[in-house]
Amino acid sequence: MSGPERMNSLERINGPVVLAPMEGLADAPMRDVLTRIGGIDWCVSEFIRVTEGLLNVATIRRSVPESEHGWCTRAGVPVRPQLLGSDVRWMGENAALLASMDAPAIDLNFGCPAKTVNRHRGGAALLTEPELLREIVASVRAATPAHIPVTAKMRLGLTDTSQTLECAQALADGGASEITVHARTKVEGYKPPAHWEWLARIRDAVDVPVIANGEVWSTEDYRRIREVSGCDAVMIGRGLVRCPDLGLRILQDSDAAVLGWDELWPWLGDFFRQTRLRVVDRHAPGRLKQWLAMLGQHYPEARALFDSLRRETCADAVTRRLEGPLQSAA
């Protein structure tokens, strides 16, 4: 049974599950495969960097190819484009461009912890400047028709939580209709734990919905983050990549696996075929190995396949392997 068929046969009793934007990981092929497996309500794209100028439409199409198909994946799951930058004027101008392309919503990135991004005054680096956050959101909101939501994603801060509530309030005051919070600071990166209790404090400080994010690897984690934070919706990133049926498990309110290795196997080939259409062949095997390394946390067969392909650099050879017999864990 396909992901959409499974979802159609179930009634969601929990809040929405959102696929997180993850540069170099949750790209268009990954979004396509994960949403077709099922259990995801909407996605946020990898960030589109804004500097001093108007983006080329072709650049947007390349970053978010779903924009040519009603801003939805093949499963019909909406994809919201995300902008990253610090120039107030050009963030607004580029938001207007996205709106003219009928984007379903526009998300703003104030949470990326990457050093290269932060050095250029982007992502989480702006969490020391709440007034600038407010100005950017206000510029985007003013440039965007009222029916298109403007949302934002932030972390708890750059190095500490001294300005967490001020930053969240600045985003809401600027006009963000929804704020996703990754419950760690920039310097904490992805090291556990995530501070879910801060999500509840932020919810109390703003008058817009807050989406919880950080350290959700299982249905039990999903239950606990909602309980601790009081948030309805939960954004999940690496947890969905590592466990592609996590959205379906949450949909069923169950910790039991939905997708066996034999069911996952065809999706690996599908993902690799799509990846080869988007990147040069010498880089394609690395993208598959990246996913296999993460899948190995749940599927011993993925670890075995990763080991067998560890030194393989030929994309054609990888394709032949994926089109061959089912890889066992032996």
Active site (annotated) includes residue 112:
yes
- Structure tokens given for 292: 């296999």
| 77 Cβ contact partners less than 8 Å away, ≥ 6 residues apart | 31, 35, 40, 41, 42, 43
- The span from the CA of 30 to the CA of 40, in Å, is 12
Catalytic residue among 43, 112, 167, 231: 112
- The span from the CA of 156 to the CA of 197, in Å, is 11
Exposed/middle/buried for 118, CB within 10 Å: 0-12, 13-18, 19+?
Answer: middle
| 151 Cβ contact partners less than 8 Å away, ≥ 6 residues apart | 80, 105, 106, 107, 108, 176, 177, 178, 179, 180
Angle subtended at Cα 115 by Cα 111 and Cα 121, rounded to the nearest 5 degrees = 65
Between helix 261-278 and helix 284-295 the angle, nearest 10°, is 150
Q: Are 248 and 37 in contact (CB under 8 A)?
A: yes
| 31 Cβ contact partners less than 8 Å away, ≥ 6 residues apart | 19, 43, 45, 66, 73, 77, 79
- The span from the CA of 328 to the CA of 321, in Å, is 12
Q: Are 268 and 322 in contact (CB under 8 A)?
A: yes
Question: What's 148's DSSP letter?
Answer: S
Cβ-based neighbour number of residue 262 at 10 Å: 9
Q: Are 64 and 55 in contact (CB under 8 A)?
A: no
Torsion angle of the four alpha carbons 97, 129, 114, 269, in this order, in degrees rounded to the nearest 10: -40
Q: Which residues are catalytic?
A: 112
